[in-house]
Amino acid sequence: MQIHLARHVNVPDQTKVARSAQAPELGPKILFFSGGSALSSLSRELIRYTYNSIHIITPFDSGGSSAVLRNAFDMPAIGDLRSRLMALADRTVRGYPEIRALFSYRLAHHKSQGRLECEIQEMIAGEHPLICSIPLPMRSIIRRYIRRFHSNMPRLFDLHGANIGNIVLTGGFLANDRDLESILFIFSKLVQVRGRVTTIVSDSLHLAARLADSSICIGQHTLTGKEVLPISSVITDLYLCRSLTDDHPVSCAISTQMARQIASADLICYPMGSFFTSLVANLLPQGVGRAIQRAPCPKIFIPSTGHDPEVYGQDLNGLTASLLEYLTRDAPEAISPQDVLNFILVDTCHGTYPGTIDPEYMHKKGIQILDTDLVSPPSPDLDPATLAALLISMA
């Protein structure tokens, strides 16, 4: 892909990066609308420079372990929340490595259900080796949440491969009157998370997509190409629905607190990852676009390199147009493209992107193309160290 009119950017700003590395507790509020694992490596790198990043994670996943927990407890998806919390956790001794080890632990796939039940009971009793090493009072809090999970666990719940961090989050969710924000705060303190992880809304909803061939896919898992065959028609609309058996659109709105958090960011990122189910999904609740509009900071789109099954039939121009459509949907007549998107970040020398990008189209929308080195071959992925330094430089 050739971008003839793009500006080549020399980054990072070494002075700003060095200053942030010396005092990460004073680092910028870089806000990400994301989900999934695409930002895990970047998050681990970012905590070198700032403890104030904000990660807004979609709670609408319907596949994998999240689906099992959602079906059993009628709750939002927490798997991606737990993953991002762990990516941002303090990895020094002060960050309680014993707790990180427990929260990363998965029950075995090859053991019997009865043996796994016994292992959970050992944790509740404080006799499991991973529990014994955790200091008080954190040990008591964790045991209480595992006990709450177990006491509410459906009789036929399959424990094979269950992640203990997810079990603790679920138990805490139930113990705190199903208040997701409360348990995210407690979990963050347990592992000394260097940033803020939250959900765009706490509603237990699902994603649905209308395709160009007039078919409708219900559930995040039907769009990612991981658990079912990839889609073979362009997504023309993504929306929220109440359940996996009801494709009727429903609406929800972000809280005043969330709106303030978005508006206070020093840099807003629409990052790499699954375009529709990780990024666009976070833009669906009412009020997101208006909150972004009120933020006086730069807003940047970082397209994924490589293959994303969700963007079948679309190039970078189409993806940018889709992003703008969802960002301005709150108030199409009042929100201009420049209010919600200022930059698109690419590496045309080393990155692989869908189709081509039209500099003239971007210019008309008021979007500046930033073309710089982001990929370190032979890996096709964006280099997390390079990207972290660049984002710190722009914030």
Find where tokens 């994303």 sit.
308
Full residue range of the structural domain in which residue 12 is found: 7-58+262-394
Residue 142 lies in a domain: yes
Where does a domain end: 197, 225, 242? 197
Confidence of residue 35 (pLDDT cuts 50, 70, 90): confident
pLDDT at 6: 47
For the segment 332-344, the average pLDDT, to the nearest whole number, is 94
User: Within this chain, do residues 26 and 80 fall inside the same structural domain, yes or no?
Assistant: no
pLDDT tens digits, residue range 113-145? 999 999 999 999 999 999 999 999 999 999 999
Residue 120 lies in a domain: yes
Residue 48 lies in a domain: yes
Whether 24 shows a pLDDT value over 90: the answer reads: yes
Confidence of residue 63 (pLDDT cuts 50, 70, 90): confident
Mean pLDDT of the chain: 93
Whether 95 shows a pLDDT value over 80: the answer reads: no
User: Within this chain, do residues 188 and 121 fall inside the same structural domain, yes or no?
Assistant: yes
User: Within this chain, do residues 142 and 69 fall inside the same structural domain, yes or no?
Assistant: yes
Residue 332 lies in a domain: yes
User: Within this chain, do residues 96 and 19 fall inside the same structural domain, yes or no?
Assistant: no
User: Within this chain, do residues 38 and 71 fall inside the same structural domain, yes or no?
Assistant: no
d(CA 384, CA 390): 10
pLDDT at 107: 96
User: Within this chain, do residues 24 and 76 fall inside the same structural domain, yes or no?
Assistant: no
Whether 287 shows a pLDDT value over 90: the answer reads: yes
Whether 10 shows a pLDDT value over 60: the answer reads: no
Whether 148 shows a pLDDT value over 90: the answer reads: yes
User: Within this chain, do residues 35 and 116 fall inside the same structural domain, yes or no?
Assistant: no
The count of domains in the chain is 2
Residue 129 lies in a domain: yes
Find where tokens 């059993």 sit.
72
Give me the percent of the chain exceeding a pLDDT of 90: 84
User: Within this chain, do residues 304 and 351 fall inside the same structural domain, yes or no?
Assistant: yes
Give me the percent of the chain exceeding a pLDDT of 70: 97
Confidence of residue 380 (pLDDT cuts 50, 70, 90): confident
User: Within this chain, do residues 19 and 118 fall inside the same structural domain, yes or no?
Assistant: no
Residue 322 lies in a domain: yes
pLDDT at 5: 39
Where does a domain end: 197, 229, 249? 197
Residue 343 lies in a domain: yes
CATH number for position 275: 3.40.50
User: Within this chain, do residues 361 and 331 fall inside the same structural domain, yes or no?
Assistant: yes
pLDDT at 11: 65
For the segment 370-384, the average pLDDT, to the nearest whole number, is 90
Whether 288 shows a pLDDT value over 50: the answer reads: yes
Where does a domain end: 167, 182, 197? 197
For the segment 246-274, the average pLDDT, to the nearest whole number, is 96
Least confident of 90-104, 152-166, 220-234: 90-104
User: Within this chain, do residues 85 and 189 fall inside the same structural domain, yes or no?
Assistant: yes
Residue 255 lies in a domain: no
User: Within this chain, do residues 49 and 69 fall inside the same structural domain, yes or no?
Assistant: no
